[in-house]
């Protein structure tokens, strides 16, 4: 099934004009071993637009084989050693909301509550970070951000690449800080309390809080 055909029907309607672009990106990936696996590349966009209340924007998938499964920052349930960025996300969540350490790093439970976990670049070559930074994914994911910004979706923007999308969202719905990477987490990510801020905004909007 093509990438475009993997999208939720609502996303297919919203992104119809970009169908040729999806095909172009897909053709550029032919013959490559990619992360995540082909059938999971569009996983984040298999949920409806109308269900999305929050978007957390990452950079590109984990390149380690078996880690990425189509949701930004998330890893498959069977991964025992969490990637450093995800470990820092869990640490901040524990500090912010007194949430117990999860059993694994699969963030599907967030996705099921209306959080879109979206990387700006949806694939990479297995074993290599940012291998697909220049094949055209940002054209699509920037449009996704624009659509969500028109729907009063809360945007969590960690690090400079994510913050480049801030202009698509109302300023009062943007929660921005340093990236949770070990290289930057101590420069503003730790102590930024994004998770409690999300719930405060959701409650003001009349939505249920996220059960982290």
Catalytic residues: 60
Tell me the three state secondary structure of residue 56: strand
User: Rounded CA gap, 46 and 178, in Å?
Assistant: 28
User: Rounded CA gap, 4 and 97, in Å?
Assistant: 37
Judge contact between 30 and 38, C-beta under 8 A: no
User: Rounded CA gap, 48 and 148, in Å?
Assistant: 11
Q: Running DSSP on this structure, what letter comes out for residue 208?
A: P
Q: What is the CA radius of gyration of the chain?
A: 16
From first CA to last CA, the distance across the chain in angstroms is 33
Judge contact between 146 and 126, C-beta under 8 A: no
Tokens of 131: 């291998």
């Amino acid at each position: 099934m093509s990438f475009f055909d993997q999208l939720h029907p609502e996303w297919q309607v919203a992104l119809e004009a970009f169908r040729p672009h999806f095909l172009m990106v897909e053709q550029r990936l032919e013959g490559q071993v990619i992360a995540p696996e082909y059938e999971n590349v569009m996983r984040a966009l298999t949920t409806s637009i109308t269900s999305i209340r929050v978007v957390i924007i990452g950079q590109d998938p984990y390149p380690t084989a078996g880690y990425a499964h189509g949701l930004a920052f998330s890893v498959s349930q069977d991964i025992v050693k969490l990637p450093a960025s995800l470990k820092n996300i869990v640490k901040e969540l524990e500090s912010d909301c007194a949430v117990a350490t999860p059993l694994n790093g699969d963030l599907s439970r967030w996705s099921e509550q209306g959080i879109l976990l979206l990387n700006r670049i949806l694939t990479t070559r297995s074993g290599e970070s940012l291998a697909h930074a220049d094949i055209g994914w940002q054209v699509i994911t920037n449009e996704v951000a624009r659509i969500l910004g028109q729907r009063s979706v809360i945007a969590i923007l960690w690090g400079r690449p994510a913050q480049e999308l801030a202009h698509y969202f109302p300023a009062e719905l943007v929660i921005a800080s340093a990236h949770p990477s070990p290289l930057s987490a101590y420069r503003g990510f730790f102590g930024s309390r994004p998770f409690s801020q999300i719930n405060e905004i959701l409650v003001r909007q009349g939505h249920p809080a996220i059960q982290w």
